[in-house]
Structure 1
Amino acid sequence: MSNERPWLAHYPHDVPAQIDVDAYASVAAVVEEAFGRFRERPAFASFGKFLSYGEMEALSRQFAGYLTGVLGLKKGDRLAIMMPNVLQYPIALFGALRAGLVVVNTNPLYTARELKHQLEDSGAKAIVVLDNFAFTLQEVVGQTHVEHVVTTGIGDMLGFPKGALVNFVLRHVKKMVPAYSLPQAVRFRDALAQGASHPLPQVALGHDDLAFLQYTGGTTGVAKGAMLSHGNMVANMLQASAWIGDLAKPGEEVIITALPLYHIFSLCANGLVFMRLGGLNWLITNPRDMPGFVKELKKSGFTALTGVNTLFNGLLNTPGFAELDFSRLHLTLGGGMAVQRAVAERWKKTTGCTLAEAYGLTETSPAVCINPLDLKDYNGSIGLPVPSTDVAIWSEDNQPLPVGGVGELMVRGPQVMQGYWQRPEETANVLGADGWLHTGDIARMDEQGYVYIVDRKKDMILVSGFNVYPNEVEDVVMQHPGVAEVAAVGVPDEHSGEAVKLFVVRKDPSLTADMLKQFCHDNLTGYKRPRQIEFRDALPKSNVGKILRRELRDEQKSTATV
């Protein structure tokens, strides 16, 4: 079936079947082309401060000079970036890539346990961290290979006096910067100043060189680094660009970047695809502040927006959103989690723009399928495979299924990762020698090549577009001395799509839900924490003693529908 590619007959008229992967040698080559072509145009905006493509070129060059000339980092060394959407993020990102380093995107909300694992596993030698999260780094940095720390405040790139004022308010008025001590740290602006006297390193980069270690939860409960090469990222950027085609005008787009750039969807779709088009990435640092988000939208003159279902739903329910000027908005892309029909239909009614659903994985850099962007209405599908991509539905014994058959979604294409960092066995479990990647998602394909997700990865919980693997949550909860057994499952949640629910058998009869929630608060990032905890005398098990999460999930579904 994969050879037939029925989807090609249903592509939008200007979308090619194949992309030219060799158009760029590296991600660095893409951004350098944009720097030159759109020098005077604004590239990034944050808190009312704009940086042009020319300024981004100069600042990222200075940062590359600091990384190589001052710190002595070499091609292939890993740099962790632990920041939300602030101007320092793209400067550090592009500086690192131009210096030939491998970027380790790090969620700023990680607990000390999660951060230590990622820094240790990746072997990161340096990290750039926002002041607000530096106290977490302080706890673990001595137990990692990190030799160099660069710290920065949210206001550091906003100019005087605004930047100083923003930093003062965050630190002293809103108390959003917990005290920390990292005596060896260098300030971001000082790093730029020191790097200015060093030349941009001349690094030869090709498709096989690593660009990112993008960490993703694992069914083993430990986050794994998906090795995304320059070739993978260039391919996916070109695939998405080809899909957008003439719908985006070079030098005229304003894309709202509310999803964090450390998330692969935002990184590729907003940070790279729209940068190559000379678009303006309008950074939203805290999208949870919905009234503030709507105020930003009002100022921006936005033409495009990417997000997850919870983000669109949140905007639709925020006063003032429906009154915005949507006359320039012509592209809304939803990914990261299933887009709900009710949200998509309300979005179209409110904005006049179709919410097109897309599907991807960290392991595929990320896009696999996207709906045609001229789609008239929501169709419940994740779309058609993007150019140069093969998709097939396989049975449990790895045989292709006929049209309409339900099985595992398989993907092959130039965007598929090189494998998991230093985990050959886990790589072999999902990536065949023939290039087919097991997604773990259950799907079906219709005659036209549209793909429909039937079930998310069997046990995975999807909270606001972030993967939560029950094993990891259970491993942490089992460390509590009062717990005998635990199972974590996803339950429907109107805000986040799904939320984590724990079923617990107590070892200590005095253990309460509040005590356990506090323990989870201390050891798990926010989206992984349980919203509900139910105590049981026993958990359902298979004949070999394996806890049956599916039974618990089905039980939740039946009680929800009663």
Structure 2
Amino acid sequence: MSQERPWFKSYPQGVPHEVDLEQYRSIVSVFDEAISKYRDRPAFRNFGKTLTYGEIDKLSRQFAAYLLGELKLKKGDRVAIMMPNCLQYPIAIFGVLRAGLTVVNVNPMYTPRELKHQLVDSGASVLLVVDNFGKTAQEALAGTQVRQVITTALGDLVGFPKGAIVNFVLKYVKKMVPDYDITGAVRFKDTLTLGQLHALPDVDIDSGDIAFLQYTGGTTGVAKGAMLTHRNLVANMQQAGVWVGTGLDYGNEVIITALPLYHIFALTANCLVFMKLGGLNHLITNPRDMPGFVKELKATRFTAITGVNTLFNGLLNTPGFDEVDFSNLKMTLGGGMAVQRAVAEKWKKVTGVTLVEAYGLTETSPAACINPMNLHDYNGAIGLPVPSTDACLKDDDGNIVPLGEVGELCIKGPQVMKGYWQRPEETAKVMDAEGWLHTGDMAKMDENGFFYIVDRKKDMILVSGFNVYPNEVEDVIAGLDGVLEVAAVGVPDDKSGEAVKVFIVKKDPSLTVEQIKAYCRDNLTGYKQPRYVEFRTELPKTNVGKILRKELREPAKAG
């Protein structure tokens, strides 16, 4: 078997080939264990307020009792949560899960149309929303199955007087809380009080029950809910836990959680894995405020941080970041999009810690491959398949490609989703008869079992019959001084079918098109060189900071 899995020989010492999938029945079992081990340890911090594991236990129990006792929700009912990182988030998540219900994570930046689609599609009975987005919720509710809206202000659990100040500033100074009116809405703090009137019954939670409906654009237009079961997430917590946990001090780690918890990466890697390790999640509510973010980093003794390439790049380009104390930092994990070499090398130079790239999808809960945590320098790979995970590369006919050749990366393992919620035909498009999930990412594997993404299947640019992978072009240009951000797409071309076009945000205002083209001539073969260069003040991104090539490609093609 090891012949088929060359990655095992590259596993770091102490990492097992398999994890024990029967150890825990549900996320709640892992949560209960963490509570008993770390009851008095800090669990979550936000706006200077810290909640211990014991406090999260008590408050999430009250919320669960409210959902079952007051609202009379039935096992498997869906509860939508729409807020940025704040103390209410973990309480709500663990409360919903303890009640045997399903969490529907909602991006708070959604428009009313997008929110309505997700509420209708998931059939959510309850919506928990932070006041900043109450107006969006008000406009989206008609025609949904939501029968109870719960509202909260960002500072509500921060305590007096700080919480009141936070709420006042957001509403009246920064004007970030538009007025809204939702009939019958209940305040989150009141649900906790009401929950105290009810005992939390013993809820039988099975490993096959759906814990999260995690919506993803996937490879086609409309957002679909990936059904992630308790087994999927427990498996991934164990897989990632044994991988990153080798050099960590259980009960004493502090992880910076700047990516939103409604995103699968932070949800699993930060909230769940570090809960299992007894760590403290330091929640950053608005990482886009980079100067404010750096100020928080300066005031925190943190040992780990996760992020996407754009987040790390943003920090590196924020004044004062190089003055942060990195002496306790042990782990930097990058995922969600390709990490660029220029960013990884600068990160190592400034922090002294290697930026370790990982790879995953919403559909894999998310971790599928991670680089060894003892990696000395950035290696351009997405890493090795994590324990109990199989990976292979297939061609368009479903045949496994020879070593060193490019094929579509396919993943099999206990962390792979049950399927898309109420969309069997969409599920069939990505899951084959043998249980392989087709990721839509083109990759190659080396003889040591390391996988390298060459690009998204659909992002590939075809120039005169040659495949050009945007990641490679972007990686090269990102290495040029004067470039802040770059995205490459294919545009129609009479001669070559497609040509490469790059969109660049300048760091140095004097940067010219000619300098970029000259640099590319030195670093890229002819057909990979951009024919067109367009400067922009910013690039379109998802709320997590992933650059949206699609939004650049469509108008470029039309033009």
| In structure 2, C-alpha distance between the alignment counterparts of 1:96 and 1:136, rounded to whole Å | 23
Displacement of 1:528 after TM fit?
6.2
Residue 431 of structure 1 corresponds to 431
| In structure 1, C-alpha distance between the alignment counterparts of 2:414 and 2:375, rounded to whole Å | 26
Residue 241 of structure 1 corresponds to 241
| In structure 1, C-alpha distance between the alignment counterparts of 2:554 and 2:368, rounded to whole Å | 37
Residue 400 of structure 2 corresponds to 400
Residue 172 of structure 2 corresponds to 172
Asked whether the equivalents of residues 15 and 245 of structure 1 are also in contact (C-alpha less than 8 Å), the reply is no
Q: Look up the SS of the partner of 2:271 in the other structure.
A: helix
Residue 499 of structure 1 corresponds to none
Residue 390 of structure 1 corresponds to 390
2:248 is aligned with 1:230: no
Query: Which residues of 2 match residues 176-325 of structure 1 at below 5 A?
Result: 176-325=176-325
Asked whether the equivalents of residues 332 and 354 of structure 1 are also in contact (C-alpha less than 8 Å), the reply is yes
Displacement of 1:530 after TM fit?
8.5
Residue 53 of structure 2 corresponds to 53
Identity of aligned residues (%): 65
Q: One-letter code of the match for 2:288? A: R
Q: Look up the SS of the partner of 2:142 in the other structure.
A: helix
Q: One-letter code of the match for 2:51? A: L
Displacement of 1:494 after TM fit?
4.9
| In structure 1, C-alpha distance between the alignment counterparts of 2:383 and 2:361, rounded to whole Å | 14
Displacement of 1:218 after TM fit?
3.7
Displacement of 1:221 after TM fit?
1.0
| In structure 1, C-alpha distance between the alignment counterparts of 2:88 and 2:174, rounded to whole Å | 21
Asked whether the equivalents of residues 253 and 303 of structure 2 are also in contact (C-alpha less than 8 Å), the reply is yes
Unmatched segments (≥5 aa) in structure 2: 461-469, 475-486, 490-499, 508-539
Displacement of 1:313 after TM fit?
0.6
| In structure 2, C-alpha distance between the alignment counterparts of 1:279 and 1:437, rounded to whole Å | 32
Displacement of 1:527 after TM fit?
7.3
Displacement of 1:526 after TM fit?
11
Q: One-letter code of the match for 1:166? A: V
Query: Cα distance 1:264–1:193, how it changes in 2: closer, same or farther (>3 A)?
Result: same
2:378 is aligned with 1:356: no
Query: Cα distance 1:402–1:108, how it changes in 2: closer, same or farther (>3 A)?
Result: same
Query: Cα distance 1:440–1:297, how it changes in 2: closer, same or farther (>3 A)?
Result: same
2:68 is aligned with 1:68: yes
- Matched positions, count: 491
| In structure 2, C-alpha distance between the alignment counterparts of 1:534 and 1:57, rounded to whole Å | 48
Asked whether the equivalents of residues 64 and 201 of structure 1 are also in contact (C-alpha less than 8 Å), the reply is no
Q: One-letter code of the match for 2:318? A: T
Asked whether the equivalents of residues 330 and 353 of structure 1 are also in contact (C-alpha less than 8 Å), the reply is yes
Asked whether the equivalents of residues 336 and 546 of structure 2 are also in contact (C-alpha less than 8 Å), the reply is no
Query: Cα distance 1:400–1:495, how it changes in 2: closer, same or farther (>3 A)?
Result: farther
Asked whether the equivalents of residues 2 and 390 of structure 1 are also in contact (C-alpha less than 8 Å), the reply is no
| In structure 2, C-alpha distance between the alignment counterparts of 1:495 and 1:19, rounded to whole Å | 46
| In structure 2, C-alpha distance between the alignment counterparts of 1:242 and 1:6, rounded to whole Å | 19
Residue 542 of structure 1 corresponds to none
Q: Which moved more, 1:161-170 or 1:144-153?
A: 161-170
Displacement of 1:165 after TM fit?
1.6
Q: Cα deviation per residue 1:216-256 (whole Å; 9 max; x = unaligned)?
A: 00433100000000000000000001111321111110000
Q: One-letter code of the match for 2:199? A: P
Q: Cα deviation per residue 1:442-473 (whole Å; 9 max; x = unaligned)?
A: 0000000000001124149999xxxx9x9xxx
Q: One-letter code of the match for 2:423? A: R
Q: Look up the SS of the partner of 2:368 in the other structure.
A: strand
Q: Cα deviation per residue 1:48-86 (whole Å; 9 max; x = unaligned)?
A: 000000000000000001110001111100000001000
Query: Cα distance 1:399–1:526, how it changes in 2: closer, same or farther (>3 A)?
Result: closer
Displacement of 1:323 after TM fit?
1.1
Q: Cα deviation per residue 1:311-333 (whole Å; 9 max; x = unaligned)?
A: 11111111111111111001000
Asked whether the equivalents of residues 2 and 392 of structure 1 are also in contact (C-alpha less than 8 Å), the reply is no
| In structure 1, C-alpha distance between the alignment counterparts of 2:67 and 2:156, rounded to whole Å | 19
Query: Cα distance 1:376–1:150, how it changes in 2: closer, same or farther (>3 A)?
Result: same
Displacement of 1:533 after TM fit?
9.3
Residue 160 of structure 1 corresponds to 160
Q: Cα deviation per residue 1:158-185 (whole Å; 9 max; x = unaligned)?
A: 1112111211111112111011010210
Displacement of 1:40 after TM fit?
0.5
Residue 414 of structure 1 corresponds to 414
| In structure 1, C-alpha distance between the alignment counterparts of 2:271 and 2:63, rounded to whole Å | 18
Q: Look up the SS of the partner of 1:449 in the other structure.
A: coil
Residue 151 of structure 1 corresponds to 151
Q: Look up the SS of the partner of 2:282 in the other structure.
A: strand
Query: Cα distance 1:333–1:526, how it changes in 2: closer, same or farther (>3 A)?
Result: closer
Q: Look up the SS of the partner of 2:15 in the other structure.
A: coil
Query: Cα distance 1:434–1:324, how it changes in 2: closer, same or farther (>3 A)?
Result: same
Q: Look up the SS of the partner of 1:23 in the other structure.
A: coil
| In structure 2, C-alpha distance between the alignment counterparts of 1:134 and 1:197, rounded to whole Å | 27
Q: One-letter code of the match for 2:64? A: A
Displacement of 1:196 after TM fit?
1.1
Query: Cα distance 1:144–1:180, how it changes in 2: closer, same or farther (>3 A)?
Result: same
Q: Look up the SS of the partner of 2:428 in the other structure.
A: helix
| In structure 1, C-alpha distance between the alignment counterparts of 2:397 and 2:182, rounded to whole Å | 53
Q: Which moved more, 1:249-258 or 1:1-10?
A: 1-10
Query: Cα distance 1:528–1:127, how it changes in 2: closer, same or farther (>3 A)?
Result: farther
Residue 82 of structure 2 corresponds to 82
Query: Cα distance 1:61–1:491, how it changes in 2: closer, same or farther (>3 A)?
Result: farther
Residue 31 of structure 2 corresponds to 31
Query: Cα distance 1:331–1:79, how it changes in 2: closer, same or farther (>3 A)?
Result: same
Q: TM-score, normalised by structure 1?
A: 0.83
Displacement of 1:201 after TM fit?
2.6
Q: Cα deviation per residue 1:334-389 (whole Å; 9 max; x = unaligned)?
A: 00000000000010011110000000000000000000010000000000000000
Unmatched segments (≥5 aa) in structure 1: 471-488, 497-519, 540-551, 553-562
Residue 513 of structure 2 corresponds to none
Q: One-letter code of the match for 2:305? A: L
Residue 338 of structure 1 corresponds to 338
Residue 510 of structure 2 corresponds to none
Asked whether the equivalents of residues 27 and 234 of structure 1 are also in contact (C-alpha less than 8 Å), the reply is yes
| In structure 1, C-alpha distance between the alignment counterparts of 2:84 and 2:506, rounded to whole Å | 21
Question: CA RMSD for the aligned pairs?
Answer: 2.6
Q: Look up the SS of the partner of 2:219 in the other structure.
A: coil
Residue 97 of structure 1 corresponds to 97
Asked whether the equivalents of residues 228 and 417 of structure 1 are also in contact (C-alpha less than 8 Å), the reply is yes
| In structure 1, C-alpha distance between the alignment counterparts of 2:553 and 2:399, rounded to whole Å | 40
Q: TM-score, normalised by structure 2?
A: 0.84
| In structure 1, C-alpha distance between the alignment counterparts of 2:333 and 2:54, rounded to whole Å | 28
Q: One-letter code of the match for 1:129? A: V
Q: Which moved more, 1:385-394 or 1:427-436?
A: 427-436
Q: Cα deviation per residue 1:85-133 (whole Å; 9 max; x = unaligned)?
A: 0000000000000001100000000011110100000000001000000
Asked whether the equivalents of residues 337 and 546 of structure 2 are also in contact (C-alpha less than 8 Å), the reply is no
Displacement of 1:206 after TM fit?
1.7
Query: Cα distance 1:194–1:418, how it changes in 2: closer, same or farther (>3 A)?
Result: same
Displacement of 1:411 after TM fit?
0.4
Q: One-letter code of the match for 1:400? A: I
Q: One-letter code of the match for 1:36? A: S
Q: One-letter code of the match for 2:304? A: A
Asked whether the equivalents of residues 237 and 269 of structure 1 are also in contact (C-alpha less than 8 Å), the reply is yes
Q: One-letter code of the match for 2:396? A: E
Query: Cα distance 1:494–1:393, how it changes in 2: closer, same or farther (>3 A)?
Result: farther
